[in-house]
Amino acid sequence: MDDRITFDEAKKRYTNRIVDDVTFGVDAGQCLGLLGPNGAGKTTSIYMMTGLISRNHGKVIYGNNDLNDTSLSDLSLGYCSQYDSLWKLLTVKETIQFYLNVCGYPKKDIPYYTKALIEACGIENHTNKKVSEISGGTKRKLSLIIAICSSPSYLILDEPSAGMDPFTRRYMWKLISQLKKVRETSTILTTHSTEEAEALCDRIAILIKGNLVCIDTPNSIKMNQSNHYVLEVFTDNPEEFEEYYINRCNLFGLDQTNTNSDKKQYNVESSFNHQKYTVEMKTQNIANVFSVMEEAKEKGHISQYNFGQYSLEQVFIDFVNDSK
């Protein structure tokens, strides 16, 4: 049972507290990324922001408008849901024309803007295909077109790049970035890709079990873990490598007098001939790691290695592990 289900004494009923008291904001022309593991409450947050589900308490404000007292139709809001909700029998062109019509574009301009949006997303070859005949990635692009076709002031995207190939994803990043710049759109998006978050977002909020555990710029989030490093090693003798280099040579320069603690001072993930160490160590020891690894390579004890600071993905994984 979800331990967030609680009994509401006042209303005499059980409530499922999926998202706790979270507060965040986005400036004009900025993008906020909501990162979180499955079931963290990202989509639920978005449903509350877009008024698709009700809230027990809290406020959602767009500019000077409180969502409680504002009709969604009065907001310049674009929304791309996690699941594509498109009419299967319409063609790509007809779908875009329909939404441009709803957005109030003058009839004479609709063909021009339809063509421009189709070209901007690179789906010219699918123009006259029915929605039922296009691929998942193209459906995603069409959903994005619908969300942005009114050049909204506020844009909410739930996993916009899910199912897109890396090339298409970059195309989409460009489109969202242009909208941010040209239209000063405030964007909130959810994603599972730290690469996407770094490419698009001015700030990142990490949501875990309905709580915000961190909100900052991608660089600041990484800098907070600036003494955390990752060493990846390819070797045919992982046990010998660990025994000799990590323990006997104290590769990471760890405090070996601290023998009372049960907690290992580094973590290791092993697979076949690949060892991945994550470690918190002093910056002064960086040069030592490089020189010892070069030596190990020369002696043939390892075939290759990779050493560097934590990536955003690693920081995110740590947040999730710490919350377990």
Ligand X SMILES: Nc1ncnc2c1ncn2[C@@H]1O[C@H](COP(=O)(O)OP(=O)(O)OP(=O)(O)O)[C@@H](O)[C@H]1O
Give whichever of 211 and 273 is closer to ligand X, judged by the CB atom.
Answer: 211
Q: Does 16 bind ligand X (CB under 6 A)?
A: yes
Residue from the set 33, 36, 137, 238 that interacts with ligand X by CB under 6 A:
36
Give whichever of 42 and 169 is closer to ligand X, judged by the CB atom.
Answer: 42
Sign of the four-CA dihedral 92, 95, 98, 102: negative
Tokens of 187: 């964007």
Stretch that binds ligand X, among 36-44, 164-172, 252-260, 291-299 (CB under 6 A): 36-44
Q: Pairing mode, if any, of strands 211-216 and 203-208?
A: antiparallel
What phi-psi label fits residue 279: left (phi over 0), alpha (psi between -120 and 50 degrees) or beta?
beta
Binding mask 39-78 for ligand X (x = CB under 6 A): xxxxxx----------------------------------
Give whichever of 70 and 193 is closer to ligand X, judged by the CB atom.
Answer: 193
Min dist. Cβ of residue 192 to ligand X (A): 6
Min dist. Cβ of residue 199 to ligand X (A): 19
Min dist. Cβ of residue 271 to ligand X (A): 26
Give the number of C-alpha atoms closer than 13 A to the C-alpha of residue 296, restricted to the C-beta side: 26
Under 8 Å between Cβ of 114 and 87: no
Stretch that binds ligand X, among 35-43, 99-107, 177-185, 311-319 (CB under 6 A): 35-43
Residue from the set 18, 26, 131, 204 that interacts with ligand X by CB under 6 A:
18
Give whichever of 18 and 149 is closer to ligand X, judged by the CB atom.
Answer: 18
Q: Does 188 bind ligand X (CB under 6 A)?
A: no
Give whichever of 137 and 210 is closer to ligand X, judged by the CB atom.
Answer: 210
Helix axes 92-102, 136-148, angle to 10 degrees: 20
What ranges in 50-109 are assigned the alpha helix state H? 92-102
Nearest to 182 by CA among 26, 32, 29: 29
What ranges in the chain are assigned the alpha helix state H? 42-49, 92-102, 110-120, 136-148, 166-183, 194-200, 218-223, 238-241, 286-298, 312-322
The whole-angstrom distance between residue 157's C-alpha and the CA centroid of its chain comes to: 11
Q: How many residues bind ligand X (CB under 6 A)?
A: 10
Stretch that binds ligand X, among 33-41, 173-181, 227-235, 306-314 (CB under 6 A): 33-41
Stretch that binds ligand X, among 38-46, 161-169, 235-243, 257-265 (CB under 6 A): 38-46
SS3 at position 28: coil
CA angle 75, 80, 81 (to 5 degrees): 115
Min dist. Cβ of residue 217 to ligand X (A): 22
CA 26/CA 31 separation, integer angstroms: 7
Stretch that binds ligand X, among 37-45, 146-154, 167-175, 266-274 (CB under 6 A): 37-45
Min dist. Cβ of residue 71 to ligand X (A): 24
Give whichever of 60 and 268 is closer to ligand X, judged by the CB atom.
Answer: 60
The residues that touch ligand X, with contacts defined as CB under 6 A, are: 16, 18, 36, 38-44
